[in-house]
Each structure stands twice: as C-alpha cells, then as structure tokens.
Amino acid sequence: AQSVTQPDIHITVSEGASLELRCNYSYGATPYLFWYVQSPGQGLQLLLKYFSGDTLVQGIKGFEAEFKRSQSSFNLRKPSVHWSDAAEYFCVVLSGGSYIPTFGRGTSLIVHP
C-alpha cells in the first residue's frame, strides 16, 4: 500500500528565511505527487503537483518542489517565507494502482516576525 511520510510535525522559521518541508513516499511506481496548504479556517488549497516531466515544479505563492526518484522524496521549498505562509502543509500521493489520494500527516509551519 502506498504511504506518505512527513517527518516534521512542526517547523518554525523567521520571516524572510528559506523553507524546506520534507515528504517521502513509499511504493514502487512513479506516483503523482501534490502539495496542499490549509490556512486556518480555510479548505485545502493546491500549491503544486507533479505528474511527469521536469522534476522541479513551480507552484503558487512562490513555492516549488523537486521530485527525486532515488530518494523517493518530493520536498517543498520556498526561498523567502512570508508571515502569511503560516499554515498546515500536506504532501499527497496518488498511485497508478489506486486513484485515491493518500495524505501525509501534515507539517504545521509557524512563522516568526
């Protein structure tokens, strides 16, 4: 069965600092990969996705993520964090065998001024 690991429950960064949120998945085939963000009181908003092609994908709000097959990872990055980026971030995996997206546990991002 597919699984998604987000090893960091909380991450605290200062505004303006760079950010990397980790995501690892496990299963055999190349999956379809997503990052969603949930701001307080809001729904789950798609930041970016990877289906195929260029392994570095750009998303909204200045986020990017890189698919590394050798590491089974799809880490989310942002060069300079803004206070409004404080939210819960979910890595989501969808395999070819099951078209049901599987969520990681989420990483809560705290931004200090």
Partner 1 sequence: EPEVTQTPSHQVTQMGQEVILRCVPISNHLYFYWYRQILGQKVEFLVSFYNNEISEKSEIFDDQFSVERPDGSNFTLKIRSTKLEDSAMYFCASSRQSGANVLTFGAGSRLTVL
Rg over alpha carbons for the chain, rounded to the nearest Å, is 13
Q: Give the span between the Cα atoms of 53 and 75, in whole angstroms.
A: 17
Q: Which of residues 80-109 bind partner 1 (CB under 8 A)?
A: 90, 94, 98-106
Contact status: 17 vs partner 1 (CB under 8 A): no
- Categorise residue 77: left if φ over 0, alpha if ψ from -120 to 50, beta otherwise: beta
Q: Give the span between the Cα atoms of 17 and 112, in whole angstroms.
A: 10
User: Which is closer to partner 1, CB of 34 or CB of 63?
Assistant: 34
Shortest Cβ 86–partner 1 spacing (Å): 17
Among 42, 55, 58, 84, binds partner 1 (CB under 8 A): 42
Shortest Cβ 108–partner 1 spacing (Å): 10
Q: Which residues here bind partner 1, judged by CB under 8 A?
A: 32, 34, 36, 41-46, 49, 51, 90, 94, 98-106
